[in-house]
Structure 1
Amino acid sequence: MGPHQFTGSDTYRHAQVGNHQTAADALMSWTKAGGKVLPGLDKRREKERAIYLGE
């Protein structure tokens, strides 16, 4: 996800107002490329979500 996509995303909007759990969950909507879920990207987002939540 690039900076322009991120600043217009639900993840960004939720984080800005302090809804951190919802923001972390919204990260999981960024797992596709070319309309298909990529297993490696899905795994990466799970790790990013855990880091964001301090897990």
Structure 2
Amino acid sequence: PIILSADMSSQIDNMEGIAVHRNGEGETIVTIVSDNNFSFLQRTLILQFAYRG
């Protein structure tokens, strides 16, 4: 399955880390993280997605 589809019109920074685990309800949890590289033009983001399927 596709959990995120983005092109250059999306405001997404450089994603640098990913973790995947299954929670107690059986969902697959995907966590991705970016950092701002010490730049005020970028953001530090933590995005988390749950896949139920």
**Interval of TM-score (by shorter of Structure 1 and Structure 2):** under 0.3
TM-score for both structures, normalised by structure 2? 0.26
Instruction: Specify the structure having the higher radius of gyration (Cα).
Output: 2
Higher RCO by CA contacts (8 Å cutoff, separation 6 or greater) = 2
Larger helix proportion, structure 1 or 2? 1
TM-score for both structures, normalised by structure 1? 0.26
Larger strand proportion, structure 1 or 2? 2
